[in-house]
């Protein structure tokens, strides 16, 4: 067999590349084997190792670089994208009515409304007592027979000093008003005015974010508990890979993507990406040294020295 010089090796690489371009992705990818490979590659120990070797150092470098930058975050978006997103985010935000009703009906909201009503009523009654005729000369007892008791216990809250029957009546009024107040809160949250207000606020937050610098963003990201999240990531991945519904979803998506990509040859996909010539040049630059060393290796030399037939 003749010596494989660089010209021969380049010709061999080009023939191999052309054969690869004429094939389809489905000739090289089997979804079931992909899932098996994922199971092997994404064990917690391996994920932790790759995460520590690649992700953590890259994150550290990027944050350190950003911390010194005065570039505004708005520089990451072209003017057309900024204008489009500004208009989009400024549109009214309509909250789901079901979510509003569930939130307003929650015990936390009921307690807040109840407390607010009680405090408002207490304040109102206190002001009425304070402004009643003769309030400063002992005439309060003549104006409101229960006023003295209420004023004397003001530090404990107005309801605590009104007496049993009146206290119960006030509580009844408050409880009876709850439904009306909650309904009005829900209507306000679902109103067009609230939707416009939320949209305007969202737009304002977006525009103010674009004015922040990369250093501001790095400072905010540095407050994220990376160490805790890093330790959880491998276990979260491993956990989800064991879930049947996740595996079925991954398998279905692999089949769907493979079916779509395999409508074209590898070469056509490279053409669509504008990468056929660049890939061939990469193969010449990096494949030739590998092919050269491979051709001169002992196993290949022994194989080429075998008698024909």
pLDDT, position 130: 62
pLDDT, position 22: 96
Per-residue HEC secondary structure of 9-22 comes to: HHHHHHHHHHHHHH
Give all strands (DSSP E) within the chain, no chain letters. Answer: none
Q: Kindly tell me if the per-residue pLDDT of 264 is higher than 60.
A: yes
Q: Kindly tell me if the per-residue pLDDT of 252 is higher than 80.
A: yes
Nearest 5°: phi and psi at 230? Answer: -60, -40
User: Residue 25: which pLDDT band, with cuts at 50, 70 and 90?
Assistant: very high
Cα angle for residues 109, 112, 113 (degrees, 5° grid): 85
User: Residue 191: which pLDDT band, with cuts at 50, 70 and 90?
Assistant: very high
**Which tens digits make up the pLDDT trace of 94-111?**
989 888 888 888 887 777
Beta bridge partners of 24: 265
pLDDT, position 142: 47
Query: In the numeric block, which tokens belong to residue 68?
Result: 């010194």
- For the chain, give the mean pLDDT: 84
Residue carrying the six token digits 């490279």: 270
Instruction: Please give the Cα distance from 78 to 75 (Å, whole number).
Output: 7
Q: Mean pLDDT over residues 153-172, rounded?
A: 54
pLDDT, position 219: 95
Q: Kindly tell me if the per-residue pLDDT of 150 is higher than 50.
A: no
Q: In whole angstroms, how large is the CA radius of gyration of the chain? A: 37
Instruction: Please give the Cα distance from 158 to 151 (Å, whole number).
Output: 8
Instruction: Indicate if the alpha-carbon torsion angle 154, 158, 160, 162 is positive or negative.
Output: positive
Q: Kindly tell me if the per-residue pLDDT of 146 is higher than 50.
A: no
* Contacts by residues 80-89 (CB-CB < 8 Å, ≥ 24 positions apart): 82/210, 85/206, 86/203, 86/206, 86/207, 89/199, 89/202, 89/203, 89/206
Contact (Cβ atoms closer than 8 angstroms) between residue 129 and residue 135? yes
Instruction: Please give the Cα distance from 126 to 133 (Å, whole number).
Output: 14
Q: Mean pLDDT over residues 284-308, rounded?
A: 86
**Which tens digits make up the pLDDT trace of 109-126?**
777 777 777 777 677 666
Q: Mean pLDDT over residues 31-46, rounded?
A: 92
Instruction: Please state the separation of Cα 175 from the chain's center in Å.
Output: 40
The CA-atom distances, in angstroms, between 73 and each of 16, 17, 87, 192, 218 are 45, 42, 18, 32, 11
- Top pLDDT among 162 and 52 is at 52
**Which stretches of 24-130 are DSSP H helices?**
31-41, 44-50, 56-67, 79-89, 97-104, 107-130
Residue carrying the six token digits 């944050």: 63
Least confident of 27-41, 177-191, 200-214: 177-191
pLDDT, position 300: 83
């Amino acid at each position: 067999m003749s010596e494989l010089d660089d010209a021969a090796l380049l010709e061999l690489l080009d023939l191999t590349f052309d054969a690869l371009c004429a094939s389809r992705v489905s000739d090289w990818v089997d979804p079931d084997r992909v899932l098996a490979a994922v199971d092997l590659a994404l064990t917690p120990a391996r994920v932790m190792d790759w995460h520590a070797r690649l992700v953590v150092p890259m994150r550290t470098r990027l944050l350190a670089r950003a911390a010194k930058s005065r570039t505004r975050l708005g520089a990451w978006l072209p003017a057309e994208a900024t204008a489009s997103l500004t208009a989009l985010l400024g549109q009214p935000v309509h909250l789901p009515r079901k979510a509003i009703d569930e939130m307003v009906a929650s015990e936390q909201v009921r307690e807040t409304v109840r407390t607010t009503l009680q405090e408002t009523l207490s304040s109102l009654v206190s002001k009425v007592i304070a402004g009643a005729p003769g309030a400063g000369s002992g005439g309060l007892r003549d104006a409101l027979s229960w006023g003295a008791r209420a004023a004397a216990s003001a530090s404990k809250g107005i309801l605590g000093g009104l007496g049993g029957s009146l206290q119960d009546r006030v509580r009844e009024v408050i409880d009876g008003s709850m439904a009306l107040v909650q309904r009005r809160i829900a209507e306000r949250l679902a109103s067009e005015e609230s939707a416009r207000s939320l949209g305007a606020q969202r737009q304002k937050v977006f525009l103010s974010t674009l004015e922040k610098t990369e250093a501001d963003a790095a400072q905010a990201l540095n407050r994220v508990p990376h160490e805790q999240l890093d330790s959880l990531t491998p276990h979260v991945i491993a956990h989800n890979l064991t879930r049947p519904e996740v595996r079925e979803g991954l398998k279905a998506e692999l089949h769907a993507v493979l079916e779509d990509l395999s409508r074209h040859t590898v070469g056509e996909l490279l053409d669509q990406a504008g990468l056929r010539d660049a890939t061939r040049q990469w193969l010449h630059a990096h494949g030739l040294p590998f092919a050269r060393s491979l051709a001169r290796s002992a196993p290949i030399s022994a194989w080429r020295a075998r008698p024909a037939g």
